[in-house]
Amino acid sequence: MDHNLPGSPELVTSRLETEFAVPAQVEDAYRRMADFARLHGSQNRRVILVTSGGTKVPLESHTVRFLDNFSSGTRGATSAELFLQADYAVIFLYRHRSLFPFVRRFAALNILDVLRLKEGVGLEEPRVEPDLTALPNIVEILHRYESVKQKGLLLPVEFSTLSEYLHLLKAAAQALSPLGSSAMFYLAAAVSDFYIPASEMPQHKIQSSSGPLQLSMKMVPKILSPLVKDWAPKAYVISFKLETDPSILVDRARKALETYNHQAVVANVLDTRRSCVTIVTRDSQIDLRLSDEEAARGMELEEKIVNYLQDCHAHFISQ
């Protein structure tokens, strides 16, 4: 390999260290993730990192304006919940205020609309009671969540900016690397492709009085390269590919596998991402579809994705 190539793992790592500010919480997050991985590794449990939500790209050092994308973290939060049901231990690396496992179903609710105030009689204190009709399946969901908490199976780690995401992903990979093939990476976060280096970013708010805004942005380094080669070389790694043109989808997925040498790509088209994905591996390609009947029963496409990929992971471990 030519180590001077733009996509080489060594150059990507160097750019990460020099062009992206290290977040203050990264050392503490690494310790928590490493302890979590050691605990569940000692119990012979598979551990997965699920990334979820979009990344914020600041346009100023004292950030007023930023670039973002539409991702709310639906696929990541849903998949994390399903991997927990499959007895994985889950590190959930998620965007601040994006959807979260279990509570994702109630994210659109105003909490004050589902609570009822019961005035006390005499010296009794007022009580607050939930309206269970507005919280379908809440008892079952609470039981599942309490079980996950008691077993210590879920470790949430929050990010907001692109820089935070990249550094926390590296820390997570290094924390999971000792688990070898028992570690899985499910990289469902919608990561920006463009950014402004900290050294080139205006310090203060960009003034509209200066006229039309022109931006020159760099390409974000392909973090998948050092993750697969250096940070967690024995793990099972799944990336995601979103396109708007169906005709190039599978070719782009196969190109990613050839470039980064990881195990699987979950490829989907923007308009049909809730009902259909194509999972591409080095020697296979499978379409997973959610029928209208399945959707009407409340089934989610992520159930098929997670079931298929955990089987792939089990086979990978056995090899």
What CATH number did the domain enclosing 313 receive?
A: 3.40.50.10300
Query: Which amino acid appears at position 64 of this protein?
Result: V
Q: Is the CB of residue 76 less than 8 Å from the CB of residue 185?
A: no
Which residue positions in the chain have pLDDT lower than 50?
1-6
Based on the fold, state whether residues 176 and 142 are members of the same structural domain: yes
Q: Is the CB of residue 96 less than 8 Å from the CB of residue 52?
A: no
Based on the fold, state whether residues 158 and 137 are members of the same structural domain: yes
pLDDT of the residue at 5: 45
Q: How many domains does the chain have?
A: 2
Based on the fold, state whether residues 50 and 188 are members of the same structural domain: yes
Q: Is 121 inside a domain boundary? A: no
pLDDT of the residue at 157: 98
pLDDT of the residue at 123: 79
Q: Is 294 inside a domain boundary? A: yes
Based on the fold, state whether residues 67 and 159 are members of the same structural domain: yes
pLDDT of the residue at 87: 97
Q: Can you tell me the distance from the alpha carbon of 83 to that of 306, in angstroms, rounded to the nearest whole number?
A: 7
Q: Can you tell me the distance from the alpha carbon of 191 to that of 187, in angstroms, rounded to the nearest whole number?
A: 9
Q: Is 118 inside a domain boundary? A: no
Q: Can you tell me the distance from the alpha carbon of 254 to that of 237, in angstroms, rounded to the nearest whole number?
A: 14
Based on the fold, state whether residues 154 and 184 are members of the same structural domain: yes
> Kindly report the CA angle at 247 between 245 and 249, in degrees rounded to 5?
75
Based on the fold, state whether residues 287 and 272 are members of the same structural domain: yes
Domain ranges, residue 260: 241-319
pLDDT of the residue at 120: 85
Based on the fold, state whether residues 148 and 285 are members of the same structural domain: no
Q: Can you tell me the distance from the alpha carbon of 315 to that of 309, in angstroms, rounded to the nearest whole number?
A: 10
Q: Is 319 inside a domain boundary? A: yes
pLDDT of the residue at 199: 84
Among 258, 237, 305, smallest CA distance to 83 is for 305
Based on the fold, state whether residues 165 and 68 are members of the same structural domain: yes
Q: Is 10 inside a domain boundary? A: yes
Among 269, 270, 168, 169, smallest CA distance to 224 is for 169
Based on the fold, state whether residues 82 and 101 are members of the same structural domain: yes
Based on the fold, state whether residues 103 and 70 are members of the same structural domain: yes
- The model's pLDDT over 252-265, given as tens digits with 9 standing for 90+, comes to 999 999 999 999 99
pLDDT of the residue at 197: 87
Based on the fold, state whether residues 76 and 190 are members of the same structural domain: yes
Q: Coil, strand, or helix at residue 230?
A: helix
pLDDT of the residue at 198: 82
pLDDT of the residue at 225: 96
Q: Is 256 inside a domain boundary? A: yes
pLDDT of the residue at 195: 95
Q: Is 113 inside a domain boundary? A: no
pLDDT of the residue at 183: 98
Q: Is 122 inside a domain boundary? A: no
- The model's pLDDT over 187-240, given as tens digits with 9 standing for 90+, comes to 999 999 999 988 888 999 999 888 898 888 999 999 999 999 999 999 999 999
Based on the fold, state whether residues 171 and 67 are members of the same structural domain: yes
pLDDT of the residue at 4: 39
